[in-house]
Structure 1
Amino acid sequence: MRTVAVLGGGIGGLAASYYLCKSPQVAKVILLESSNRFGGWLWSTRRSDGGVFEHGPRGIRPAGAVGRNTLNMVEDLGLSGEILPVTYSHDASKNRYLYVNKQLHKMPSGISGLLRTVPPFSRPLLFSIATEIFVKKSKEEDESIHSFVSRRLGKELADIAVDSLCRGVFAGDCRKLSVRSCFPVLYNAEQRRGSLTLGMLLGSGPSQVVPPGPLSQRSVKESWAQWSLRRGLEELPESITDFLQRSRRVQLHRETPIKCISYSASGWTIHLEDGTITADHIISALPAKVLSSVLPSSCQPLIQKLQDISCVTVAVVNLQYEGSVLPVTGFGHLVPSSEDQGLLGVVYDSVPFPQHNRSEGLTTRLTVMMGGAWFQEVFGSPDAVTEEQLLERATEAVRLHLGVTSAPSWSWVALHKDCIPQYYEGHFRRVESMRSFIKNNSLPLSLTGSSYDGVAVNDVIYSARTAVEELLGNGI
């Protein structure tokens, strides 16, 4: 393998380049990014007063093979000393809230929380869990998350808790999202064990094998629930970029939009605004619709499937308040769509990561997330809404939900257009069809990134590793 071109310099493209660098089989890697920075949605603002604000993901889970894989990468990059862990015993892990009927409700936790009725739910959660074991498994190959949870655990849990969870994780509508693609662990538990309860207790099938390194072992020993980095999560893509530059095997190109790509017997030709690049293989970490817009017309069946994957727009508003203003302590609160379609949730950033607060003087950092699948309906066109409108909506939510009447001392509004892919019912079939087309036509093309195999940071990094392993035909 002489030259591999990686399209897209978000965390997926950076991770693919990182893994390619690990192999002597690849002579040269060319990474192409259209914007002026690498890292994609991993984006942190570091203020001169020591404050750190995340405009994208703000914490990464260490659990599972994908979590171990990311921690192994972090360790290899020399970032172990930068880790900010949050344990399961921390308030941010134990206390999560829902905003229902115009008030905050702490989500049930522990045995006592399962045994008694905890508002906003009308019966103990243990009742739903105990009866779930008798529900017959579905014969459908996929269904919506809302349908799945309603059938197995009851409509109330689906309407309130799961609706809110899907808004917080995917900024999406659980009535459209696929349970098989968004929550494969739940789908597999039902299919293989006939029950979520039995699936959780007995396991629901084989998982990826990733040996834990020392940092991953430490995360288990210390019971980490999530982690960040001292200078914000953007420190991860920055460190990968530095690693790639030091390797001298990767050509890094910012501000290099791709006009189109063409294929012939000799390989790929990537057409740029000011010339062309040739490559033997392409790993695309571009959003599905962006890739569809540059592929040759001979790939029409693939183009159509790529265009079927929708994305949603999310407004992220960072707020800093003077003093300690929160009425409760915890990770934050989510809002079901029945309560307020436009407002997805509020994260209490100062609770899990107080190290990111301003170095002098007590402050409270919050992040308000808005829009998602409801953006157009609530706010109109993303091109027409103003930062002032979004800031006003965010501060009003903080006032109503948390009783914070003071004005923020600092704010930042980020509008992330088409930032989270939506895995609607049948998503797994669409992805299978795409990869079958690539294989059947012997195209030297790999698909990675958040459009296909998971939207979380861990999933995207692991997807990049898998793409490289499949390309090179061996482990890394």
Structure 2
Amino acid sequence: MPPSHIAILGGGLTGLSSAYHLSRKFPSSLITLLEKQPRFGGWVRSERVQVKDERGNMASVVLEAGPRTLRPNAKSVLELINLLELKSSLVLTRKTSPAAKNRFLYIPGTNGLQLIPSSITSFFSSSLARILVPAILREPFRRYNRPPGITDESLDSFLIRRFGEPFARTFGSAMVHGIYAADSRILSVRAAFPTVWDAEENGGGSVIRGLLSKNERGEAAVDYVLGDMVTAMDGVSVFSFKEGIRTLTDALVLELKRNPKVQLQSGVGVTSLRLNPLHQTFEITTSSHFSFKASHVVSTLSPPVLNILLPPSLPLPHLTENTSSSVTVMNIVFPPSLSGHPIHPPGFGYLIPRPSSGYDTSNSGILGTVFDSSALSGQDTGRLIKLTIMLGGPHPLTPSHTSLPVVLKHLASHLGHPLPEPLLVHSHSHASCIPTLSVGHLERMDELRAVLKALPWNGRLEVIGAGVGGVSVGDCLEAGKRAGCVWR
């Protein structure tokens, strides 16, 4: 018998995806989605703004305070684009474009950016060759050195074992800054980068041999309704939408509002979640002082928030194990370059590795910068230059770190030349926005799922979302697609 009433806690990417897919799986079930904030979409926050340059010319740009690009290999994303008929709204960045080929590092203490090699020729001629060449060439010949009995470790520890400390600190920490805004010495390699962990096993101890010999399995295409989206993504590096990522969440909200079996409630938080084991129902109390019963619940809330809602008599394990990163996002729009000298080099942007001195307030606090006007030029009118700077994460921030003059001073140093006065600056501070999946995360989540499967929960509560699975848009939408897959 299908669920009679499904409650979904949280109206971000995972919650909206859950509601959409569950409404398709169980068309007769009532679905109630509760979102504490006045708007749906979670950390997705796209805004089109009008900008006037110094000559009085008007242009419009899309500013993203949250995720800004999508990967074409995320079939859960492609399926929604197909089902919601969003293909005409796409903005594509081809693999042949400079934004796809050129990515940079800024090494603290230096002046200017360093291009990350993307070809064999540049690999040997790069200014980063002194770190890259010995790390890559020696790795296949290093002996198998995973300590006996180790089932997980930090990405930093893993990369040091296989590629050496300079590579781990320069490239590993920078990559983690860009994806998780976290410290690579804490992040679980198995949870965050399972491909490289598996490659070490499949390659007889060598990550490179494992990556070169691995079989591309991918997801079963029969499980997704993709239409012609795979063909549309041929040769695409990253993509977004003309009006930003909110196009996806707005379309989900609109589709759900059309369904009479789905109730969307924004501005309504959950204050308690209680299970009645005798009747196998949940009682949910909300911030608007009403309560209701549900036969099944999907929680997409962060695990620490869910932990507060549960009664002490029925705790769940491991909900408070992981910390989360807080990030400040600054969108900066500059006038077109009139001198002929571009503000930034053609490319996607740059990341900054962990300083050799560690994370302290003497550093800039900047994790990296995206050259939005290069990566997603099809979103904007005019020839304005749009950048997004990310600060915080493992860096402790003070008010001076995020003051505009200080940020512009650091940005000019990174780019290697003075900058014009910006036309527009938007700043957003996101508290605890990206969970850090620490070492042992997968085993802990297996234990959590085992408890939820057994009595008294009996599989009727599912805990999903970025704090459980991956943090990308694709990961969150995939988790929503899989919600309730064992319910009958």
Fold in common (TM above 0.5): yes
Query: Equivalent residue for 1:440?
Result: 454
Matches within 5 A, 1:285-304: 285-302=300-317
Give 1:135 shift.
3.1
Matched residue, 1:367: 388
Paired residues of 1:121 and 1:156 also in contact (CA < 8 A): no
Distance in 1 (CA, whole Å) between partners of 2:135 and 2:352 is: 24
Matches within 5 A, 1:431-470: 431-443=445-457, 444-470=460-486
1:364-412 deviations in Å (ceiling 9; x for gaps): 00000000122xx332xxxxx48x9443443222222122422211010
Q: Secondary structure at the match of 1:214?
A: coil
Out of 311-320 and 144-153, give the one that drifted further: 144-153
Cα-to-partner distance string for 1:67-112 (whole Å, 9 max, x where unaligned): 1221111111010111111111111110000001233100011121
Q: Which residue among 285, 301, 309 is the counterpart of 1:271?
A: 285
Partner in structure 2 of residue 382 of structure 1 = none
1:224 maps to which residue?
236
- Which amino acid in the other structure matches residue 106 of structure 1? L
TM-superposed deviation, 1:198:
2.7
Give matches, 1:156-235, under 5 Å: 156-194=166-204, 195-203=206-214, 207-211=218-222, 213-221=226-234, 223-235=235-247
**Stretches of 4+ moved more than 6 A in 1?**
none
- Give the superposed CA RMSD: 2.0
Question: Does 27-36 or 95-104 show the bigger shift?
Answer: 95-104
Distance 1:363 1:19 in 2: 39
- Where 2:408 maps in the other structure, the secondary structure is helix
- Displacement, 1:130? 5.0
TM-aligned CA deviation for residue 447 of structure 1: 1.1
Is the Cα–Cα contact under 8 Å of residues 139 and 208 in structure 2 kept in the other structure?
no
What is the identity, as a one-letter code, of the residue corresponding to 1:400?
Answer: S
Kindly state the Cα deviation for residue 219 of structure 1 after the two structures are TM-superposed. 4.0
Matches within 5 A, 1:285-434: 285-302=300-317, 305-324=318-337, 325-338=342-355, 340=363, 342-357=365-380, 359-360=381-382, 362-374=383-395, 377-379=396-398, 385=399, 389-402=402-415, 403-434=417-448
How far off its partner does 1:470 sit?
Answer: 2.9
Task: Tell me the residue number matched to 2:64.
Answer: 54
| CA–CA distance in structure 1, aligned partners of residues 364 and 421 of structure 2 | 24
Task: Answer yes or no: is the 8 Å Cα contact 1:137–1:190 preserved in 2.
Answer: no
**Amino acid in structure 2 at the alignment position of 1:348:** F
Alignment partner of 1:88 is 2:101: no
Partner of 1:252, secondary structure, is strand
Q: Note if contact 1:453-1:460 (Cα within 8 Å) is conserved in structure 2.
A: yes
Code of the residue aligned with 2:95 in structure 1: it is Y
User: Are the equivalent residues in 1 in contact too, given 2:13–2:473 (CA < 8 A)?
Assistant: yes
Q: Partners of 1:137 and 1:180 in 2: how far apart?
A: 16
Q: Distance in 1 between matches of 2:485 and 2:28?
A: 12
C-alpha distance in 2, partners of 1:341/1:436? 43
- Where 1:297 maps in the other structure, the secondary structure is coil
Deviation at 1:26, TM superposition (A): 4.6
Q: Residue type matched to 1:354 in 2? A: S
Q: Name whichever of 203-212 and 246-255 sits farther off.
A: 203-212
Deviation at 1:288, TM superposition (A): 1.1
In structure 1, the partner of 2:360 is none
- Contact kept? 2:344, 2:371, Cα under 8 Å: no
In 1, distance between residues paired with 2:403 and 2:21?
Answer: 39
Report % sequence identity.
Answer: 27
Structure 2 portions without partners, runs of 5+:
51-58, 357-362
CA contact (8 A) 2:135 2:167 kept: no
Contact 1:117 1:124 in 2 (8 A): no
- Partner residue, 2:118: 109
Q: Which secondary structure does the structure 1 equivalent of 2:25 belong to?
A: coil
Query: Which runs of no fewer than 5 residues in structure 1 stay unpaired?
Result: 380-384
Shift of the alpha carbon at 1:205? 8.0
SS of 1:160's equivalent in the other structure is helix
* C-alpha contact (below 8 Å) 1:80/1:215 kept by paired residues: no
Q: Among residues 239, 252, 258, which one is paired with 2:270 in the alignment?
A: 258
Distance 1:188 1:26, change over 3 A: farther
Distance 2:128 2:175 in 1: 15
- 1:248 corresponds in structure 2 to 260
Separation in 1, partners of 2:406, 2:445? 37
Counterpart CA distance in 1 for 2:220 and 2:456 is 28
Task: Write out per-residue CA displacement over residues 314-334 of structure 1, whole angstroms, 9 at most, x where no aligned residue.
Answer: 000000000134241100011
Does structure 2 retain, via aligned residues, the 8 Å contact 1:7–1:32?
yes
CA displacement at 1:218 relative to structure 2: 1.9
Query: Separation in 2 of the partners of 1:3 and 1:341?
Result: 50
Deviation at 1:241, TM superposition (A): 0.3
- Identify if the C-alpha distance between structure 1 residues 217 and 407 changes in structure 2 by more than 3 Å, giving closer, same or farther: same
TM-score normalised by length of structure 1: 0.91
Q: In the TM superposition, what is the alpha-carbon distance from 1:192 to its structure 2 partner?
A: 3.0
Structure 2 counterpart SS, 1:164 = helix
> Matched residue of 1:150: which SS?
helix
For residues 123 and 411 of structure 1, the distance between their equivalents in structure 2, rounded to whole angstroms, comes to 36
Q: How has the CA–CA distance of structure 1 residues 127 and 163 changed in structure 2, closer, same or farther, with 3 Å as cutoff?
A: closer
